[in-house]
Each structure stands twice: as C-alpha cells, then as structure tokens.
C-alpha cells in the first residue's frame, strides 16, 4: 500500500498553485503552459549533448581560426538550442507565476517553440554548409519566433518594470535579444547582398556582445536574483543595487555593440566596464550568500564553477579587445574566450539550475494532467551529478588551456571529456523530463511502500 503524506511544497511548485486559487479560470489558463517549459528543456538537453559530441571534430577548426562555417554552427547549437531554449523554458515557467499574470496566448507558445526549434536547427545546418541564403531565411523564422515569445512574456513583465528586479532584468534582456537576433540576421543577409560597411570581425563582435551580455548574461543575473531567494535564501532581501547592476549591464552591452559598429576606439574601455558589471553581480550574490549557511549540493557547486569561468572569460574578453580578433594572439584567445563563456560560465549555471528546476516543473506538469504524483527525489537521478561536474569542468579547463597554448591534443582531450559529461548529463536530464510526457512512475516509486507525495 502507498502511504500518501503531505509534504512542504518546493518553491518550484508554489507560485503556479497560488495562481489557481487567486485567479480561478485565469489561473488555470496559466497552468496550461505546464509542459511548454518541459518541451524547451528537452530541446536544450538534447542539443547540449549533441553539440558537445560534435566538439572533438569542431575544435581543430576553431583552433585554426574561430570564424568559419563549422564553428559558427557549433556556437549557435550552444547559444540557441541549449542556452536560449533553457532560458526561454525558465521564463515561460516562472514569469506568469512571478508576475501573477497569465501569458496572453498559451497556444501560440507551442507554435513559437516549434518555430524556434526548427528555425534554430535550420540555422545550424546552413551555417555548417556555409549556405548564407538558407541561413538568413532560417534566421528570419527564429526572429519571428522570438517576437512571438516576447509578445507572450513582455506584457507579463511590463507592470513590474523599474520596480521588480527580476522583472526589469528579464524585460531588458528580451528586448536586447530581439536586437541581437536582428543584427545577426542583418549580418547574414549582408553576406548575400553586401550592403554593410565596416570590418567583418568588429560587426560580428557587436552581435556577439549584444547576445552574450545583453541576452544571456543579463537573463542569468536577473533570474539568479529571483532564484537565490526562492531556493536557497528564503528570508534574504535583495539589495536595491541589484537593479542598478542590471541597468549598468544592459547599458554597457548596448554601448559596446554601438561602439563596435561605429567607433571601435571605445571597445576596450567598455569591455572593462562590462567585466566590472559582471563582478558587481558576483559581489551582490556573494554578500547575500554570506548571510546564510547553505547546503553545498551540486547546484551551488556548478554556480561557483560558473563564476570562476566567468572571471576567466572577463579577463580573456578584455585581452581579446586589446589585441584584436584578427591578430595571431586574438585567434588563440577568441576560442578560449568562447569556451570559457559559453561552456564554463553559461552552461555551468544552466546545469546547476536544472537540478532544481527540471524535477519541479515535471511534478507540476503531472499534477496539472492529474497523473499519479511523484516526488522530486524519485525523478532526480542524483548519483551521476558529481561525475558530470568533474568530467565536464575538467574538459572545459583543458579546452581553454589547449586553445591558449596552441596545444591541439589538449584541446581535443578536453572536448572529448566535456562530451562525455554532456552525454551523461543529457541522458539523466531527459530521464527526469520524460516523466512529464508519460503517465508511468519511476521504478523506485513503484517499489517503495512508504512515499512522501506532493499534495
Ligand atoms: C536569431 C538569433 C541569431 C542570429 C540570426 C545569429 C546570426 C549570426 C550570424 C549571421 C553570424 C555570423 C556573422 C558574420 O559572419 O558576419 C553570427 C556569429 C556569431 N554569433 Fe550569432 N546569431 C544569433 C544568436 C546568437 C546568440 C544568442 C549568441 C550568443 C549568446 C550568438 C553568438 C554568436 C557568436 C559567438 C558568433 C561568432 C562565432 C564565430 O566567429 O565563430 N549568436 N551569428
């Protein structure tokens, strides 16, 4: 017999449930997006593992010179199909609950997810083929899907703009994502019609920094300001400076992009300022965490690894701005900078957060469908987490060192290790997420006679 015992809900479950009580039918509408975050997390986990498996083939090209078709394909597998898919999933899952506003068009959200996935995969394929017309046609589809995403999420965030820290940060990051994607699409169209002036590498750098700082880093800062109090530090108050840190980061991302497009003379100073804004975020988060003794599980460990990688990426980014991407040293620093930023910083954060978020979203999606309940522990595969942490991070460190030293064998060894970590991570993440797509409960749950179930 199964004993059903009420337990304290996780913070991942609380917001949507309160939504139902507060808004009745509207609250249920908000719940209808229940499996959209899961769909995006499935896309993210699959492409993270696939992207890492392709890395041992890609790194010799990147070590040779970062600006080539297969490297562009690899970069956008991570930036769009892994990082962006995960961030969109988090925003779909949290923004309606955080702002107590249901998203306006839940059905459009499904079309958006499909268009985004097909469009981004199309971009990756056309980058790899070096087929620019196909690339920018796919990019137009992705931009359309980002506008659909914005049409659903921005109205929820609008009321909190300038007041709520996380709301303001996410609002700005979505706007900067639209800008970055538009600049990227224009750069693609320019390959066919050749209408842009300026230097290819500085134009490209404007797009990269708008996307990496304005979209990804700003989203991570904003979401972390929401997640830290929610998951780890329940009674800690967010300092007002958090809002100013977000404004500073957004302003610097815009200024850096404009400077790279119009007058690269200011780029070094702005790269240093961008590093300062990121370190400001670290200081705010560190001060908040210093007020509490936290359990050191794999989420904060990945966050810590991410922060260390971020500091390395800041140093490499400033060095790159100083020597220029076209120089011999620039060609070594650029791929190291990309690996430290995309894999070391962004990916560590997403992996760490996913251990908290994925099971929470799955239990909620099952509740919404009236399926037999499962506990977070039953659908979390905790055992491989240590292995993933060590293998993945050792791989990233070797890759960065190998690029900088010009030692290809080291870089390839690192890529192979990161790929192994990615496959183990992807398999366990998909196993967890699969319980939002099937009614079955995990074997451990079937065999256990004393279970603590979600209420
Ligand atoms: C719809 C979204 C996007 C589109 C249409 C797009 C398009 C492009 C295009 C066309 C290029 C090549 C530009 C050129 O050759 O002049 C490029 C390069 C690049 N993009 Fe994107 N991009 C998008 C999103 C992103 C995001 C979200 C990121 C990072 C967070 C990113 C990072 C990069 C990087 C690092 C490169 C340079 C890679 C290299 O040189 O090897 N992109 N992008």
Nearest residue (by CA) to ligand 1, atom 4, is: 184
pLDDT of residue 448: 63
Predicted confidence at residue 252, as pLDDT, reads 97
Span 127-166, pLDDT tens digits = 999 999 999 999 999 999 999 999 999 999 999 999 999 9
pTM for the predicted model, two decimal places: 0.91
- Ligand 1 centroid–CA 412 distance in Å is 23
Å from CA of 446 to ligand 1 middle: 47
Beta bridge partner(s), residue 4: 451
Query: Which range scores top for mean pLDDT: 14-18, 208-212, 361-365?
Result: 208-212
329-342 per-position pLDDT tens digit: 999 999 999 999 99
pLDDT at 71 over 70: yes
pLDDT value of position 291:
73
User: How sure is the predictor about 10, in pLDDT bands with cuts at 50, 70 and 90?
Assistant: very low
115: pLDDT strictly greater than 50: yes
| Inter-residue contact 451 to 373 (CB < 8 Å) | no
Ligand 1 shell residues, CB under 6 Å: 66-67, 71-72, 75-76, 79-80, 84, 139, 142-143, 180-181, 184-185, 187-188, 200, 203-204, 207-208, 211-212, 215-216, 338
pLDDT of residue 20: 39
* Residue 9: band (very low, low, confident or very high) from pLDDT cuts 50, 70, 90: very low
453 confidence band (pLDDT: 50, 70, 90): low
Q: How far is the CA of 76 from the centre of ligand 1 (A)?
A: 7
CA-closest residue to ligand 1 atom 11: 184
Give the model confidence (pLDDT) of 190-246 as tens digits. 999 999 988 888 899 999 999 999 999 999 999 999 887 776 666 667 888 999 999
CATH superfamily of 7-444: Cytochrome c oxidase-like, subunit I domain (1.20.210.10)
**Ligand 1 centroid – CA 427 distance (Å):** 28
Task: Round to whole Å and give the CA distance between 440 and 328.
Answer: 56
Pocket test for ligand 1, best of 204, 212, 261, 344 (most atoms within 8 A of CB): 204
Q: What pLDDT digit, counting tens, does each position of 385-396 carry?
A: 999 999 999 999
What is the reported pLDDT for 294? 65
Q: Determine the average pLDDT of the residues in 361-383.
A: 90
- Tell how far the Cα of 407 is from the centroid of ligand 1, in angstroms: 26
- Ligand 1 centroid to residue 225 C-alpha, Å: 27
By alpha-carbon position, which residue is closest to atom 35 of ligand 1? Answer: 208
Question: Between the CA of residue 307 and those of 69, 282, 346, 357, what are the distances in Å?
Answer: 30, 7, 9, 20
- Predicted local distance difference test score (pLDDT) of residue 227: 82
Which residue's C-alpha comes closest to atom 22 of ligand 1? 184
30 or 58: which carries more pLDDT confidence?
Answer: 58
Q: Label each residue of the chain as H, E or C.
A: CCEEECCCCCCCCHHHHHHHHHHCHHHHHHHHHHHHHHHHHHHHHHHHHHHHHHHHHHHHHHHHCCCCHHHHHHHHHHHHHHHHHHHHHHHHHHHHHHHCCCCCCHHHHHHHHHHHHHHHHHHHHHHHHCCHHHHHHHHHHHHHHHHHHHHHHHHHHHCCCCCCHHHHHHHHHHHHHHHHHHHHHHHHHHHHHCCCCCCHHHHHHHHHHHHHHHHHHHHHHHHHHHHHHHHHCCCCCCCCHHHHHHHHHHHHHHHHHHHHHHCHHHHHHHHHHHHHHHHHHHHHHHHHHHCCCCCCCHHHHHHHHHHHHHHHHHHHHHHHHHHCCCCHHHHHHHHHHHHHHHHHHHHHHHHHHHHHHHHHHHHHHHHHHCCCCCCCCCCCCCCCHHHHHHHHHHHHHHHHHHHHHCCHHHHHHHHHHHHHHHHHHHHHHHHHHHCCCCCCCCHHHHHCCEEECCC
Mean of pLDDT over the chain: 89
pLDDT category of residue 310 using cuts at 50, 70 and 90:
very high
Q: In the numeric block, which tokens belong to residue 13?
A: 């479950």
- At 116, the pLDDT band (50, 70, 90 cuts) reads very high
CA of 111 to the centre of ligand 1 (A): 23
Most confident of 5-19, 28-42, 236-250: 236-250
Asked if residues 438 and 394 have their Cβ atoms less than 8 Å apart, the reply is no
Among 86, 208, 333, 350, say which to mutate for ligand 1: greatest number of ligand atoms within 8 Å of CB.
208
Ligand 1 centre to CA of 80 (Å) is: 9
C-alpha of residue 81 to centroid of ligand 1, in Å: 13
Q: Taking phi first (over 0 means left), then psi (-120 to 50 degrees means alpha), and beta for anything else, what does residue 184 get?
A: alpha
pLDDT in tens, 270-303: 999 999 999 999 999 888 877 766 667 898 899 9
Given ligand 1 and candidates 146, 210, 211, which is best to mutate, with the most ligand atoms within 8 Å of its CB?
211
**CB-based contact 419:395 (threshold 8 Å):** yes
């Amino acid at each position: 017999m199964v004993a059903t015992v009420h337990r304290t809900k996780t913070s991942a479950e609380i917001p949507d449930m309160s939504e139902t009580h507060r808004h009745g039918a509207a609250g249920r509408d908000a719940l209808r997006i229940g499996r959209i975050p899961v769909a995006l997390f499935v896309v993210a986990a699959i492409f993270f593992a696939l992207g890492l498996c392709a890395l041992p083939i890609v790194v010799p090209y990147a070590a040779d010179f970062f600006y080539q078709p297969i490297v562009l394909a690899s970069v956008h597998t991570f930036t769009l199909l892994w990082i962006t898919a995960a961030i969109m999933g988090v925003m779909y899952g949290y923004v309606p609950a955080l702002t107590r506003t249901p998203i306006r068009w839940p059905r459009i959200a499904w079309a958006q997810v499909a268009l985004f996935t097909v469009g981004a995969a199309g971009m990756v394929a056309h980058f790899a083929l070096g087929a620019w017309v196909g690339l920018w046609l796919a990019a137009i589809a992705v931009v359309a899907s980002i506008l659909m995403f914005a049409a659903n999420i921005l109205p929820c965030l609008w009321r909190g703009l300038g007041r709520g820290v996380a709301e303001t940060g996410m609002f700005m990051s979505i706007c900067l994502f639209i800008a970055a994607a538009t600049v990227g699409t224009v750069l693609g169209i320019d390959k066919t019609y050749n209408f842009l002036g300026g230097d290819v590498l500085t134009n490209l750098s404007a797009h990269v920094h708008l996307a990496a700082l304005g979209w990804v880093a700003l989203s991570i800062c904003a979401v972390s300001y929401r997640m830290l109090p929610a998951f780890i530090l329940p009674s800690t108050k967010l300092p007002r400076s958090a809002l100013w840190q977000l404004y500073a980061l957004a302003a610097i991302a815009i200024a850096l992009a404009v400077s790279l497009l119009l007058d690269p003379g200011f780029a070094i100073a702005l790269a240093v300022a961008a590093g300062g804004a990121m370190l400001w975020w670290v200081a705010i988060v560190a001060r908040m965490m210093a007020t509490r003794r936290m359990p050191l599980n794999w989420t904060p460990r990945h966050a810590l690894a991410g922060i260390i990688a971020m500091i390395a990426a800041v140093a490499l980014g400033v060095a790159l701005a100083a020597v220029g991407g076209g120089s011999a040293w620039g060609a070594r620093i650029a791929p190291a900078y990309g690996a430290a930023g995309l894999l070391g910083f962004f990916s560590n954060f997403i992996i760490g957060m996913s251990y908290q978020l994925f099971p929470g979203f799955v239990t909620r999606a099952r509740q919404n469908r009236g399926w037999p309940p499962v506990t977070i522990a039953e659908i979390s595969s905790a055992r491989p987490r240590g292995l993933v942490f060590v293998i993945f991070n050792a791989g990233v460190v070797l890759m960065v060192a190998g690029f900088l030293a010009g030692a290809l064998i080291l870089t390839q060894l690192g890529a192979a290790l990161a790929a192994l970590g990615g496959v183990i991570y992807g398999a366990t993440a998909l196993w967890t997420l699969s319980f939002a797509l099937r009614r079955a409960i995990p074997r451990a749950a079937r065999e256990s006679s004393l279970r603590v179930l979600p209420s």
